[in-house]
């Protein structure tokens, strides 16, 4: 049964791509707990993986001595995940649109686009002291929708 | 990701399974494509039936394969795409890049028979 | 490949038995990363589950608003896991021996015994301010042994 | 844990699969045993072939079943125990409590034929 009160789960891990499969497993377990359907489960786990990939790759430059902090907060109404790295951040305005025809064959540059397509809220916070946090929110209530 | 190769006439089917998400997957896939192009096999089908999941880095791997094959005068088509992966391909408009077939047989036949 | 430098992974979660399967998944992923054989993987995951079961059940009395903190630290030489609850602790001297003939048919009371059988070190620390911490260590180097 | 019941003559095989670790598993197993004893079926075999994992709470569930059946004049035997579970049964000396058979067939036959 989905939790009646809002629950919080923290996962702090070394910055290596090798941990993506562990993160995927944790996100799937939480989605199972929330009793969302398979499509929504895929949406949530994909978004979590994209945010963590960026934190590990761009934020912490795959330095395993740096930590990526993931906080999941959820109840039957909403799923939120906050991913924080120790990096210098970036300029959101410089992020290209991957579905422009001239960008379609680029190998990279689809992560943030997928986050925005899949989730209801995507908020970046750049800490002047260093560190990037992205918060993703998906509504699970009556109005909840899956990606497709 | 696991990668298996099955030759069917002059078409080669690449069977991907597991999760496609970058890192070692990228090298594995690129090496396979290089080997095939080196052997002048340019009619390729990626069978995604057993691929459970892909992220944006994984999409990049497919595109990199697509471009290498195209540059060599061949084509990489997709077959049997599961719905969770289909939805990512649609949202990123990669359905306009990849020729996609319902089944591996359809994809193989689209090259003009085995 | 197993990590060359020691790595730390933290997992903090609500005190519900429903989370044991998530904990099991995380422990399995770490064991996979350490490239231990299947038997040792079973040993490690079973020990982690036993420690977490006690923290959730006895320490935090299955109150999901209370947190169980799990810290994994590992490299190719050793696997350590520290599980901390918010409970009042207990008297280790009062824990019965479950393999005494008269105790064999008891339904409970095998958790700590299994921890001691499976792991190389089992250390309890009772914080006077409240909270119980158990640290489990398994050597993975040349002298490492599995439970059986 | 998943629980399935298969009657073979006057022996009932309980097929356990997944992970046995307390909580809902306990109620499921106890209810099944109660039903069987209520129907006067007391020759029971727990088939553990597909049980991937058990913790100390799960051991308690098996023992509770063992005791209920014994009190009703029957017996609960184990069959096809995987090695990871075998090692827990050994360490906790529960191998001295449970009669254990290599295969389900052996366990069923040990009751004197179907
Ligand atoms: N956490 C982060 N820290 C620093 N830069 C980031 C972060 N996330 C994204 N970026 C920047 O934004 C760009 C676009 O990211 P994204 O859309 O996920 O595509 P990709 O990661 O494939 O490049 C990245 O190339 C990177 O420059
Ligand atoms: N984290 C803990 N906090 C409080 N009491 C505990 C804790 N861990 C164990 N205990 C006590 O020790 C006893 C024995 O634990 P254990 O051997 O794991 O068996 P079981 O949990 O099945 O009773 C428990 O019944 C409980 O009283």
- What interface predicted TM-score (ipTM) does this complex get? 0.89
Given a cut of 70, whether residue D61 has pLDDT beyond it is yes
Tokens 């063992």 belong to which residue?
A: D66
Given a cut of 60, whether residue B9 has pLDDT beyond it is yes
pLDDT top residue among C88 and B112: C88
**How many helices and strands, by DSSP H and E, does chain A display?**
3, 5
Angle between helix axes A38-54 and A111-118 (nearest 10 degrees) is 140
Tokens 């029957």 belong to which residue?
A: D74
Task: Tell me how far apart the alpha carbons of residues B4 and C141 are, in angstroms, rounded to a whole number.
Answer: 35
Given a cut of 80, whether residue A85 has pLDDT beyond it is yes
CA-nearest residue for atom 14, ligand 1, is A109
Q: What percent of chain D has pLDDT over 70?
A: 98
Residue C67 CA, ligand 2 centroid: distance in Å = 17
> Which pair of tokens denotes residue A134?
């992205």
Q: Distance of CA B38 to CAs A81, B31, B72, C33, Å?
A: 45, 10, 10, 35
Tokens 């969302």 belong to which residue?
A: A36
Residue C15 is predicted with a pLDDT of: 97
State pTM to two decimals. Answer: 0.91
Given a cut of 60, whether residue A148 has pLDDT beyond it is no
Preferred mutation among D84, D85, D90, D97 to probe C, highest tally of C CBs within 10 A: D84
Q: Which of B22, B64, B91 sits opposite A117 (nearest CB)?
A: B91
Task: Tell me how far apart the alpha carbons of residues A126 and A98 are, in angstroms, rounded to a whole number.
Answer: 23
Given a cut of 80, whether residue A142 has pLDDT beyond it is no
Residue A106 CA, ligand 1 centroid: distance in Å = 14
Preferred mutation among A23, A31, A33 to probe C, highest tally of C CBs within 10 A: A33
First to last CA, chain A: 25
- Ligand 1 proximity of A126 Cβ (cutoff 6 Å): no
Hey, is C103 helix, strand or coil? Answer: helix
CATH of the domain spanning B2-109: 3.30.750.24
Dump the DSSP string for C18-29. GGHHHHHHHHHH
pLDDT tens by residue, B45-84: 999 999 988 889 999 999 999 999 999 999 999 999 998 8
First to last CA, chain C: 25
Say which DSSP state B26 is in: H
């Amino acid at each position: 049964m989905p939790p009646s009160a809002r629950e919080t789960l923290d996962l702090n891990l070394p910055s290596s791509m090798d941990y993506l499969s562990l993160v995927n497993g944790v996100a799937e377990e939480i989605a199972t707990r929330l009793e969302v359907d398979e499509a929504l489960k895929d949406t949530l786990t994909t978004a979590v993986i994209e945010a963590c990939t960026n934190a590990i790759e761009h934020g912490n430059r795959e330095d395993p001595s740096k930590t990526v902090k993931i906080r999941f907060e959820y109840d039957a109404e909403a799923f939120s995940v906050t991913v924080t790295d120790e990096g210098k951040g970036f300029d959101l305005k410089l992020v290209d649109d991957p579905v422009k025809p001239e960008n379609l064959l680029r190998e990279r540059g689809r992560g943030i686009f997928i986050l925005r397509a899949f989730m209801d809220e995507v908020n970046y916070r750049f800490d002047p002291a260093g560190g990037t946090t992205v918060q993703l929110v998906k509504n699970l209530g009556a109005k909840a929708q899956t990606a497709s | 990701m696991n990668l298996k190769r099955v030759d069917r006439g002059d078409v080669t089917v690449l069977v991907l399974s597991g999760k496609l998400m970058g890192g070692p997957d990228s090298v594995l896939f690129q090496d396979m494509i290089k080997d095939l192009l080196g052997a002048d096999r340019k009619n390729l089908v990626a069978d995604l039936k057993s691929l459970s999941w892909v992220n944006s880095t994984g999409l990049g791997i497919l595109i990199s394969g697509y471009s290498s094959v195209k540059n060599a005068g061949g084509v990489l088509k997709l077959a049997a795409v599961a719905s969770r992966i289909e939805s990512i391909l649609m949202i990123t408009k990669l359905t306009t890049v990849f020729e996609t077939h319902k089944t591996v047989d359809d994809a193989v036949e689209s090259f003009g028979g085995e």
